[in-house]
A and B are shown apart, each in its own frame.
Chain A
Amino acid sequence: MSAAWAAVISVGAGTVVLKAVGPVGVAGRRLPSRVHELLEMVAPAILAALVVTETFASGRSLVLDARVAGLAAGVVAVSLRAPLWLVVIAGAAATALVRLLS
């Protein structure tokens, strides 16, 4: 089985369980609010890490390449409140343009 299929099946099965924990497994109880608060902090931490690795990582090196233009275009698009799909296109277009010109 390829890495992609292994990831699809594992992430899919894990997510089904995570979503079912409440509606199937719990009857009206709540997690302690401190646990809830900790889990809420996970998303910003991981998403910021993904911004860094998707922009600057190349294998085990940190590099500056055309992806920085994609990041910059993304920041501009987000600050202009563009919808997500437009942010994605802006990032791809800026990266492709810099690569074409360099």
Chain B
Amino acid sequence: MPSGRGVRRGARLAAPVVPAAAALGASFGVLARTAHFDAAAAVLMSATTFAGSAQVAAVSVLGAGGGVAAAVVAALLLNARYAPIGISVAHGFRGSVARRLAESQLVVDESWALSGGGTPSFERPILLGVGAALWVAWVGGTVVGALVGQAIGDPSALGLDGAFAALFVALLAGQLRDRRRVAAAAVGAAIAAVLTPFASPGVPIVAATAAAVVGWRRG
């Protein structure tokens, strides 16, 4: 890790979002347990995937009885944005392949945005500081949530299935920045509703990806 002030400054910049990351990590841990994930599987997923919406999507597809393939495809489609995001900051990474590989795993939406990703003033140490602080909060929160979730008897009595819907609404609201995204969302929702009676759980979500073209063509 590059030492120094930049990383520490990044960790401080992350402070306002660290409690939220920990709380959401705990929510993920509980929800994963309700979808019959081992506590260790939930924690390993947070440590390696480190991307909230993709993790919750994979868990919810499996929890609804969908297949592994649909769960994996839905999650990876949600994480596909990390390819262009990573490319937009690639010029700032130095050193051996192993080091760049390790550091690249700290790229998440918040660390990218707070470090000026995609702009000429991008600072890699800040990305690493923000990313590391959020990783600790996210994984630590998941440990707590997975252990609490283990103690929960009947998840439907606690309304945890309804919590998924609320969480996705919140994540969606953060996306609806312009009319193109609203159009993509509306068509995606329609595709999912129409296909649900005809396809295995999970497949309608993957098919809804096609709605991305609607927003794209309006651009």
**CB-contacts of B181-218 with A (<8 A):** 181-182, 184-189, 191-193, 196-201, 204-205, 208-216
Say whether B176 faces chain A, with CB atoms less than 8 Å apart: yes
User: What is the CA–CA distance of A2 and B38 in the complex, to the nearest angstrom?
Assistant: 10
Q: Can you give 18 A-B contacts (C-beta < 8 A)?
A: A4-B37, A7-B62, A7-B71, A10-B72, A14-B79, A15-B54, A18-B80, A22-B107, A35-B84, A41-B212, A43-B81, A47-B168, A49-B211, A50-B74, A54-B164, A59-B65, A74-B169, A87-B167
In the complex, are the beta carbons of A74 and B165 less than 8 A apart? Answer: yes
Say whether B58 faces chain A, with CB atoms less than 8 Å apart: yes
Find the B residue at minimum CB distance from A3.
Answer: B68
Give which listed residue, A11, A27, A37, A92, contacts B166 with CB less than 8 A.
Answer: A92
Find the B residue at minimum CB distance from A51.
Answer: B168
Say whether B100 faces chain A, with CB atoms less than 8 Å apart: yes
Closest beta carbon of chain B to A66's beta carbon, Å: 6
Give the chain B neighbours of A2 by CB distance below 8 A: 36, 38
User: What is the CA–CA distance of A94 and B45 in the complex, to the nearest angstrom?
Assistant: 28
Closest beta carbon of chain B to A73's beta carbon, Å: 6
Known contacts A30-B87, A71-B165; decide if A49 and B208 are in contact (CB<8 Å).
yes
In the complex, are the beta carbons of A18 and B82 less than 8 A apart? Answer: yes
In the complex, are the beta carbons of A91 and B91 less than 8 A apart? Answer: no
Give which listed residue, B62, B76, B103, B191, contacts A49 with CB less than 8 A.
Answer: B191
Give which listed residue, A20, A99, A100, contacts B86 with CB less than 8 A.
Answer: A20
Known contacts A22-B90, A23-B104, A41-B181; decide if A95 and B193 are in contact (CB<8 Å).
no
17 further contact pairs, Cβ within 8 A, besides A66-B159, A87-B167 = A10-B72, A16-B105, A22-B85, A42-B212, A44-B212, A45-B187, A48-B172, A49-B211, A52-B192, A60-B198, A74-B166, A74-B169, A78-B169, A78-B170, A90-B166, A91-B162, A92-B158
Find the A residue at minimum CB distance from B92.
Answer: A23
Give which listed residue, B104, B167, B182, B212, contacts A19 with CB less than 8 A.
Answer: B104
**CB-contacts of B120-172 with A (<8 A):** 156-172
A-B contact count (CB 8 A): 352
Find the A residue at minimum CB distance from B105.
Answer: A19
Give the chain B neighbours of A40 by CB distance below 8 A: 81, 181
Give the chain B neighbours of A70 by CB distance below 8 A: 159, 161-166
User: What is the CA–CA distance of A93 and B104 in the complex, to the nearest angstrom?
Assistant: 38
Known contacts A19-B105, A22-B90, A70-B166; decide if A41 and B216 are in contact (CB<8 Å).
yes
Give the chain B neighbours of A30 by CB distance below 8 A: 87-88
In the complex, are the beta carbons of B170 and A31 less than 8 A apart? Answer: no
Give the chain B neighbours of A44 by CB distance below 8 A: 172, 175-176, 181-182, 184-185, 188, 212, 215
Give the chain A neighbours of B192 by CB distance below 8 A: 48-50, 52-53, 57
User: What is the CA–CA distance of A17 and B116 in the complex, to the nearest angstrom?
Assistant: 22
Give the chain B neighbours of A29 by CB distance below 8 A: 87, 90
